[in-house]
Structures are given as structure tokens and as C-alpha cells.
Amino acid sequence: MNKRQGEGCPKKYADTSRDVSVKSSSPVLAAFKVFQQELDTRHDKYERLVKLSRDVTIESKRSIFLLHRVTSVPNTEEILKEADLKLDGVRHKIGQIAEELMGEDIYQFHRAYTPGIQEYVEAVSFLHYIRHRRLISLEEINARLVFCSQGAADALSPGSQVLTFHVTPSDYLLGVADLTGELMRMCISSVGNGDIDTPFQLSQFLRQIHDGFSYIGNTGPYEVSKKLHTLRQSLAKVEDACYTLRVRGSEIPKHMLADVFSSRTTLIDPEEGVV
Amino acid sequence: MSVTEMFGYIQGFLDVDQEIREDIRKVVQTLEQTAREILTVLQSVHQPSGFKEIPSKCVRSRDLFCKVRAQIADLKTKFPSEQYYRFHEHWRFVLQRLVFLAAFVVYLETEALVTREDVAKILGIEVVREKGFHMDIEDYLAGVLIMASELSRLAVNSVTAGDYDRPLRISNFINELDSGFRLLNLKNDSLRKRYDGLKYDVKKIEEVVYDLSIRGLAKEAESVGSK
């Protein structure tokens, strides 16, 4: 050890690069080469998951926009089918996420894909509400996220391997919180189209969700309390809308309701911008 | 399932989660206590009198690591082993401290960088994730970086205590560590931030070595080495 110390030190000031090459066989550098590989593999996987998550987010958002069109179209079933098709594509992407996560601790990479999953929950629960007028459950979401890994199926194992993706309760919760914003928009636009029943249904549903979130309160993850604030605003907007409909509805002829209502929403809108 | 039922069901999950976190927090607190005890034992090497007692200090801290092993074994029972990363944040800090302490002890004993396997053995945990409670590679590297700044301090204090050889050996060691870290492609995270501090430790030690060599104090050590 003394020997190495004698030759290593004075050179250090002259050039470090040669010093590195001299010692490149040292156990420390060998160990760090292993670390380099390990870290790179991990970061690569993380990046791939972020990409997949972004794709899931974009496609889910598009499905939601598509679903907003149901209020103004006579044939809703066609739009619902199209949205289902879009969401199948999203599910395929989630299958790829599940494949990436195979054999990993899912929480290690959770931050990479949680935005996408939340958006997916939002889209799928929105579709479910429009179709069935009730809240989709966590099991129902997870039940559709079962995949057969194609790659392994024909190459390695004869029986296709079943992959599942589990949406965590907190992702579900955050997705449902986002859903309320979409429901509010749906409520406003359905009034615009002269639909008087939907707003009342929606306000009841939103109230139930609001009660649910109040029940959970601050025991949930930190983001929930933030979303609870927006949820209150959405609920107030919908309740105001229902109030207007009830009060003015009996006085004004139906075909004029839309005008009354749209002037009301423009009154509310700037308030939202402030908060 | 009605909305109310659904939220009750989710609440169940959250309650279980909360309970596990409470349990983990309690054990982590005892771990932090032990880590502080070990640190106190090792801090005395910076005292002038402490340099002669390094072997005995190492033995004492090795004894304390038995306690760590027991506490970590306790921690393992608090949560399902496949959910390590779900609760990782709770023990991340203390695990990094423990890696630092283990690495410091091993450095004082052998003047070599502790391997991941050895740290895992000292702490009574696994190296790879598949086998259970393990040591994340980033935590290992963070612990090693904490040790680097401790060593730059040791270099200064060993000169004060009249030990002129040690800074040279530390300088070699840290330089090797530095070139090791330069091999890594770090992301812009906490580990990267900590790594950015390494160059100041390197600089500090080089200054010490420089001070020693211009005064001819490093000469004796060197001439012994090159003969």
C-alpha cells in the first residue's frame, strides 16, 4: 500500500486523466462500473414508463373530449362505442406498462406512471357514468386491466402469461376527483342543449362523491386535500345551476332557458379564475 | 356498489396504510437513535487522542451494529416485503446514515471502500431486491458520499494531531472514489446534488496535501514509499 501512495500522489496535480487509466483495474472502479450499469438500466426503464404514461394521458384526454360531445348528439351509443375503442388503445399501453413492471416493485416506478393512470381512471369512470349513471368501482377498473403478454407467449412459454395491472386506491381516488370537474362541464353544456334532467342527476351524484371525499378527509394522500378544494367549486357551480333551473324554469319558456343559463355561467366563470 | 360503499372501501385501504406507516415510524426512530450513538463513538477519532484508539472505537461501533441488525429485523416485520418502495421514504435517510457509518468503520479498519455486500452484511440486509429488505444502490452511493466529506475533515484533523501520512492516503482514496463517481450517469436528483459536493471534499484534501508537501512534511512518508 505504501508503494501505491508514493507514486500516486505527486502525479495527481499533473494529470488526473492518466491517473485514472493507470488505476482503471482497481476494485473501486470495477465496482462503480457495475453501479453505472445498474443505474442506467433503472433510469432507462423509468424514462420508458414516463413516455408510456404520457401516451396514456394524451389518449385518455382525447377520449374525455370525445365523450363531452354526447350532450349535443342524438345518437350517444355511437360516441360511446368510439370512446370504448379509444380506451382499448389506452389499455394496450397500460399493458405495456404492466410488462415493464413485471418482476419489479411497482412502487419503485410509481411516480413515472401515476399521472397517466389517473387520467385513465378519469376517462374510464366518465364513460361508465354516462353509460350507467353510477360510479365505477376499483375492481371494475382493475378487472379490465388484465393482459396476456404477447412477447413471452410465442417465444418462451407455451401458455400465454397473464399480466395484471393494479390501480392503487390512491390513484383511483385522485382520478375520481378529476372526474368531478368533467361532470361539472357536462352539466353546464347539457343545460345549454336544453336538457333539464341531467343537471339534477349530476348534482346528486356529485354530492355523493363530495360526501365520500369529506368522509376520507385528510387521512388520504396529500394531493386529495388539494383536489377537494376544486371539487367544492365544481359542486357549487352545479348546485347553482340546478337552483337557477328550479327558480327560473317555471317562469321562462323552455326554449329560452339556454340564454338565461349561459348568462349565469359567464357570471360565475371570472370567479373561478381568481381562485 | 354505491358511491358511499366505494368510499368506505377505499377508506379501509387508507387506514391500513396509515397504521403501517405509524409502525414503521416508531422503529425508524429507534434506528436513528442507534445511528446517533454509533456516530458519537466514531466522532471521537477527530480528537487528537482518538487517533490511537481507532481500532477500539471500531470494535465498539461494530458492537452497536448488532443493535442495528436487530432493529432492522424488527422493521422488516412491519410491512409486506414486496412493498419496499412504497414506504422507502421513511427509512431512506437513516439507511444512508447507517451506510455511511458502516463505510467509515470499514475505512478506518482497512482503508478500503466497503463493498455493497459488506454493508448489507453489517446491517443484516440483502443486496438484491428479490430476496427481501435490501439496500437501494442510490442509498449506498449517498452513504459513501457522506463518508467522503467526513474523510476530508479527518484529513485536516489528522494533520493537527501530527499524523502527516494519513492525508496522503485519504487523498488517494478520495481521488479513486471521485473517478468512480465520474463513471456514473446521474440524474438530476438528490444523489446528483450530493455528488456535486464531492469536488469540494477533493479540493479540501488536495489543499491539505499541498500544504504538507511544500513544507516537506509529506517527504518522509513519500521517501519511505518509493524506496
Q: What is the CATH number of the domain that holds A61?
A: 1.20.58.190
Residue A43: the pLDDT is 94
Residue A56 lies in a domain: yes
Domain match, B129 and B147 both: no
SS3 A162: strand
Residue in A19, A33, A35, A210 to test binding to B, most B beta-carbons within 10 Å: A35
Q: Which of A150, A167, A184 is the last residue of a domain?
A: A167
The predicted structure's pLDDT at residue A179: 94
For residues A126 and A157, membership in a common domain is answered with yes
- pTM > 0.95: yes or no: no
Domain assignment present for residue A21? The answer is no
Does A50 share its domain with A108? yes
Whether A27 and B187 lie within 8 Å, measured CB to CB: no
- CATH code (residue A232): 1.20.58.200
Per-position DSSP letters for A223-243, written without gaps between them: HHHHHHHHHHHHHHHHHHHHH
Task: Give the number of C-alpha atoms closer than 13 A to the C-alpha of residue A51, restricted to the C-beta side.
Answer: 8
Instruction: ipTM value, please give it.
Output: 0.87
The answer to whether position A14 is within a domain reads no
Instruction: Decide if A86 is inside a domain.
Output: yes
Q: CA-CA distance, B227 to B217, in Å (whole number)?
A: 17
Would you call B209 an interface residue with chain A, using a CB distance cutoff of 8 Å? yes
Same domain, A149 and A236: no
Residues A161 and A208 grouped into a single domain: no
Q: How many domains does chain A have?
A: 2
Torsion (CA) A125, A127, A132, A133 in degrees, nearest 10? 70
% of chain B at pLDDT higher than 90: 76
Structural domain includes residue A222: yes
Q: Is residue B95 located within the same domain as residue B198?
A: no
Instruction: Encode burial over A156-172: b for 16+ CB neighbours within 10 A, e otherwise.
Output: eeeeeeebebebbbbbb
DSSP structural state of residue B185: -
| Same domain? A102 vs A175 | no
Question: B86 and B4 in one domain?
Answer: yes
Which residues of chain A make contact with B135, given a CB cutoff of 8 A? none
* Interatomic CA distance for residues A248 and A257, integer angstroms: 8
pLDDT at residue A267, rounded to an integer: 47
- Tens-digit pLDDT string for chain A (275 aa): 444 444 444 444 444 444 444 456 788 999 999 999 999 999 999 999 999 999 999 999 999 999 998 877 778 888 999 999 999 999 999 999 999 998 888 899 999 999 999 999 999 999 999 999 999 999 999 999 988 765 544 444 445 578 889 999 999 999 999 999 999 999 988 887 777 888 899 999 999 999 999 888 877 788 888 888 899 999 999 999 888 888 876 565 555 555 655 555 544 444 444 33
The boundaries of the domain holding residue B30 are 1-135
Contact across the interface for A35 and B187, Cβ inside 8 Å:
no
The answer to whether residues A178 and A159 belong to one domain is no
Last residue of a domain, one of B135, B169, B196: B135
Q: Which alpha helices (DSSP H) does chain B contain, by range?
A: 3-43, 54-76, 88-110, 116-123, 137-160, 165-182, 190-196, 198-214, 219-226
> By residue range, what is the domain housing residue A178?
169-275
Whether B225 shows a pLDDT value over 50: the answer reads no
Domain of B85, CATH number, reads 1.20.58.190
